[in-house]
Amino acid sequence: MAPLTRCRAPGAVPTPMMAEYYKQRATPGGLIISEATVVSPTGFGYPNTPGIFEPAHVDGWRQVTEAVHSQGGIMFSQLWHVGRVSHPHFQPGEALPISSSAVPISFDGQPGKVFSPKTMQMEDYPTPRALGKEEIPGIIADFRKAARNAKAAGFDGVEVHGANGYLIDQFLKDGINQRTDEYGGSIENRARLCLQIVEAVCEELGAEKVGLRLSPFGTAIHAAEDSHPYALNVYLAEELNKFGLAYLHLIEPRQVIDPVTKEYSVADTPLTLRPFREVFNGAVISAGGFTTETAAAAVGSGACDAVAFGRSFISTPDLVQRLRIGAAWNKWDRNTFYSPGPEGYLDYPTLEETEEGRALLAAAAGAAA
Ligand SMILES: Cc1cc2nc3c(=O)[nH]c(=O)nc-3n(C[C@H](O)[C@H](O)[C@H](O)COP(=O)(O)O)c2cc1C
């Protein structure tokens, strides 16, 4: 299960409803990656997203990991700092959000928009504050502490969120990072924060319990583009080989987001994750726009070792069973992706719960017998 922000943790504390949601989706041996989970008070940029830096967060997550483990599932915590994808209304003391450089999110010269929990409307993303070099060890320490907390909360490991234009990606990509110190400029310098965070987290947990998510190619998400994505990400993959990570989780280049509907779709593109797959010597998870058939083909051809499913797992709690028997998924409702209650969260039906589904299951059992 791919990491999926659902905005249902008031006060950043995971709830019993969240435990139930993840439990519905847990299967023996199946890896669930948690929704992105904030590592420090400056890391928020969306309403009601969970944290992992206070004791109450750890206690809240413990009920979730226990629920997943009760089904034999495996759960990693996705560790997150949004960086500039935020607004003073999310920040302690209404300070400016932080980033690699004082470069705001804009699209074709127009400012990007962020929902403010204070005005309850869309506001322009502000120009963030560039982190001082002396502040960077504190950011690494926040990820380290979050990893320690994740272990205390019962997670089986963590995934460092280096994708989708958030803080780590704001250092990686030269479309954003304009620093002139050893955290900017060359590929080695821009990769430094990412690698130092991975190193710190590996020291805490052991590399075999650590994954990293990257989106090598720019998508419509948060205006995070790099001029040389192959060179940057091949370098990262080579450096990551030194750790022996649990996995590298890569977002497909062919996955694009419609700026109007916000829906992801699969585009034809000559871009490919192959070069990173060839260089990285550990397991690769691929995500973005997969169907039952294309996922089987991707794993079968060796393009990746596993596929993570996102929206299909939102709509289909018994997705794993349906992948096994080739059954269709429920349709997802984008309107309830980030709404507060159980609707569109706990109430998607399993095959067992509908007459048509039970008939399908019976037919599949008959075919197997
Ligand atoms: C509602 C929603 C929330 C998401 N939240 C996260 C997140 O917290 N962390 C992350 O790395 N990706 C997040 N993503 C991206 C998904 O993990 C995944 O890469 C994307 O949905 C494409 O996969 P799919 O086509 O199987 O849905 C989110 C996507 C959706 C639709």
| DSSP assignment string, 88-115 | GGGSGGGPPPEESSS---EETTEEPEEE
Q: Which atom of ligand 1 is nearest to the CA of 308?
A: 26
For residue 29 the two structure tokens come to 């041996």
Return mean pLDDT, the chain.
Answer: 96
pLDDT tens digits for range 85-114: 999 999 999 999 999 999 999 988 899 999
> What is the Å distance from ligand 1's center to 244 Cα?
25
pLDDT tops 70 at residue 154:
yes
Choice between 256 and 56, residue whose per-residue pLDDT is larger: 56
Query: Cα–Cα distance between 233 and 235 in angstroms, integer?
Result: 5
**Residue 218 confidence (pLDDT):** 74
Burial of 175 (0-12, 13-18, 19+ CB in 10 A): middle
Beta strands 247-251; 284-287: pairing state: parallel
Cβ contact 257:221 at 8 Å: yes
Residue 220: pLDDT band (50, 70, 90) is low
Query: Cα–Cα distance between 51 and 38 in angstroms, integer?
Result: 4
Q: Provide the 8-state DSSP code for 51.
A: B
| Mean pLDDT score, 35-61 | 98
pLDDT tens digits for range 183-200: 999 999 999 999 999 999
> What is the Å distance from ligand 1's center to 180 Cα?
33
Q: Where are the beta strands (DSSP E) in 205-315?
A: 210-214, 247-251, 255-257, 264-266, 284-287, 306-308
Residue 219: pLDDT band (50, 70, 90) is low
- Which of 5, 21, 32 is the pocket-test mutation for ligand 1 (most atoms within 8 Å of CB)? 5
Non-local CB neighbours of 17 within 8 Å, separated by 6+ positions? 8, 342, 345, 346
What are the sequence ranges of the domains in the chain?
10-309
Query: Cα–Cα distance between 226 and 172 in angstroms, integer?
Result: 8
Choice between 218 and 63, residue whose per-residue pLDDT is larger: 63
> Percentage of the chain with pLDDT > 70?
99
- List all residues whose CB is within 6 A of at least one atom of ligand 1: 2-5, 35-36, 78, 161, 163-164, 213, 251, 255, 264, 287-290, 309-312, 337
Of 105-119, 180-194, 274-288, which gets the smallest average pLDDT? Answer: 105-119
pLDDT tops 90 at residue 260:
no
Cβ contact 191:172 at 8 Å: yes
Q: Does domain 10-309 have CATH number 2.60.40.10?
A: no
Choice between 268 and 29, residue whose per-residue pLDDT is larger: 29
Which residues pair with residue 251 across a beta bridge?
Answer: 287
| Mean pLDDT score, 39-43 | 98
